[in-house]
Chains A and B, each alone.
Chain A
């Protein structure tokens, strides 16, 4: 079975803390993505990566950064968490040229 694994299902952090969300895929996919999902807003793209060490901004990159040092791993970093970053974060991966996205189960982050 293909798999996208996110490191934490639930996290609670305080305002100003640094937060790492990790995602690992076992399908040798070139593309990896980070989305956030909020009620009524759907899934919004934060960052994506086409290859190791490459990253591109999505719709809402402000307040986030990413790292892709290995093909299978894509990390989302919140340098200084704020309450408006409380959300469900979904990682996804795909082959490079138009194919289905495989999603992880999500990481629900609460920032107090």
Chain B
């Protein structure tokens, strides 16, 4: 049930944009996005619910295509603080909040 993330890694210069994709083989109720900095716990960024409701984080947005069972995370005008590993977590049951996480995308922002 683990979703597939791409790319596995990306290097950006400050100010550049990035897109991280998450794809599931199962119908999704919600998609979560988390960022983990080295040596720290994952931190919540965003949740996207079936039906289009979205909760967000400034300068970072996301889309959720229910039919394609895909989500994408958009990071615009990247900052050094955006560096870390991004994980999508997918919930295939209504309201269960039982997430299966992808293998992560390592994002490095350089000056």
Q: Which of A31, A41, A42 is packed against the most chain B CB atoms within 10 Å?
A: A42
Interface size of B by Cβ–Cβ distance < 8 Å?
26
Interface size of A by Cβ–Cβ distance < 8 Å?
28
Bound-state Cα–Cα, A94 to B30, Å: 15
With known contacts A98-B49, A100-B32, A105–B40 Cβ distance under 8 A: yes
Asked if A90 is at the interface (CB within 8 A of a chain B CB), the reply is yes
Chain A residues 69-99 with CB under 8 Å of chain B are 90, 94-99
Q: Which of A4, A95, A104, A106 is packed against the most chain B CB atoms within 10 Å?
A: A106
Asked if A34 is at the interface (CB within 8 A of a chain B CB), the reply is no
Task: Looking at the assembled complex, report how far the CB atom of A9 sits from the nearest CB atom of chain B, in whole angstroms.
Answer: 10
Chain A residues 19-66 with CB under 8 Å of chain B are 31, 33, 35, 40-45, 48, 56, 58-59
Bound-state Cα–Cα, A72 to B98, Å: 18
Chain B residues 1-32 with CB under 8 Å of chain A are 1-2, 5, 29-30, 32
Which of B2, B97, B102 sits near A59, CB closer than 8 Å? B2
Residues of A within 8 A of B44 (CB): 100-102
CB-based contact B42/A98 at 8 Å: no
Chain A residues close to B by CB (< 8 Å): 4, 31, 33, 35, 40-45, 48, 56, 58-59, 90, 94-106
Chain B residues close to A by CB (< 8 Å): 1-2, 5, 29-30, 32, 34, 40-44, 47, 49, 87, 89, 91, 95, 97-104
